Amino acid sequence: MTVTVTSAALRVASRNYELYDTGDVAGVDEVFAADLVDHNPVPGVASAIEGMRYLIGQVRDGFTGTRHRILFQQELSGGWVVNHWQMTATHTGDAFGLAASGKPVRFNGTDIVRILDGKITEIYHVEELLQMTAQVNAV
C-alpha cells in the first residue's frame, strides 16, 4: 500500500480543479484570496476573483463529465506550487464563444499558484485552448 503525504499548499492547489470538475462557483471564495492576482486575466472581468468565477462557470455550463487529472505537481519555496494537468470532458453547452458540439475534448494546462494563509493569492495559467478548439471544431 502506498501512502501519499501532501502538504496543505498542495491540497489547496488541487482543490482548484475540483471546483472546475463540480462547477462549484461558490467554492471560489474558499480557494482563492479576495485580492487574487491573476497574471493571465480574463478580459473584461471586474477582478481576478471574478475571472475565476467566470472560468468555472464557463466550464460548468459548456462541458459535462469534466475531469481534471494532475500530471505533475511540485511544491516550491515561498508558497508556490506548479501543476501540470489534463482536462477531459464532453462539449455539451455553449462556452468560451463556442457553440455546443457534443464532442469529447482532452487538453492540458499548466498553473503556477502562490498559496498564502490557505488560499491562492497569485496565479499564472496557460491552457491549450487551440487544441480544445480544434477538437470542438473537428469535422
Q: Tell me: the pLDDT tens digits for 21-43?
A: 999 999 999 999 999 999 999 99
In a domain, 3, yes or no: no
Domain count for the chain, please give it.
Answer: 1
Residue 92 near residue 64 (C-beta atoms within 8 A) = yes
**pLDDT for res 139:** 73
**CA 136 to centroid of chain Cα atoms:** 19
In a domain, 19, yes or no: yes
**β-sheet with 80-91: strand ranges across:** 32-38, 119-127, 104-116, 80-91, 63-75
Provide the domain limits for residue 26.
8-137
pTM of the model: 0.91
In a domain, 2, yes or no: no
In a domain, 22, yes or no: yes
In a domain, 1, yes or no: no
Q: Residue 87 — φ and ψ, nearest 5°?
A: -110, 135
Q: Tell me: the pLDDT tens digits for 71-94?
A: 999 999 999 999 999 999 999 999
* CATH code: domain of residue 68: 3.10.450.50
